[in-house]
Structure 1
């Protein structure tokens, strides 16, 4: 009986799960959007980012979500303009037990530096959903609403809204 208890204790010791509560989630993304306001047109771009945060023992998590990437603005009138996007969001989310996760984010920093039009800054919010049924990766869709109202040396009218859909593939690591 002592041997059975020792084997049981050994097996139980190796199968217990330890969790530090650290979320590390790198991702690659592609954005498609529609801008309105001072200029109407389309936007598109690619991005590279990561969420770094804390996971609760029961489904919830909070993270800083930073990304950088390229963006192309295609206004209905005028020439196309390429730029570089930098964003930082405060994000909270829930990992549901049915292979789905969802999150909300508020933009702490959101700026685009266009090659010819200059730099614009503004506010942003996002809502996202991810499918986690594949091994190791999550397939995600986010809806982002941006309002640019600050021109830092920009030659364009800074009042510009962008509504974008972002498709991404991420590697959520719960360490």
Structure 2
């Protein structure tokens, strides 16, 4: 069989992606397998990869805790998307998302940021090291603060962030962190 006629799943396995249950994986026809690293990437059973802008770099792990659907995401090295739905989002090195995540358009998880299980984001930027606990709706936010994984800003579990005016006529973004001093990596956690 020529490489052009091989299935996308077979092409990924051939280049080194670990797929233990190939019959359970769906890769969209629009996905460019050249944009998925063969070095240490693991796609677990039941997961789906779609989108012509999807990029997956080395040592990324998709769907470890439950199947994951990824569409048009840019996934950096050593990222863990452990289960859920991820669309039009960016995950930089060592970002992590737990089971049941619902990460939507314009979410950016910078280096070593993380969300636990059952967290929803949209139009949200998490600066490095920021952690969101479990059972959280966290949309339209920019959150910063922290200098390392041991010294980071965190939102506790069971938190809902609504961004509507009292008249419910618009949603506005929230900045969480010491913005007047800057939101760089030398700032203490919130």
Same fold per superposition (TM over 0.5)? no
In which range does the TM-score fall when normalised by the shorter chain?
Answer: under 0.3
TM-score by length of 2: 0.21
Q: Which has the higher strand share?
A: 1
Higher relative contact order (CA 8 A, sep 6+): 1
TM-score by length of 1: 0.22
Higher-Rg structure is 1
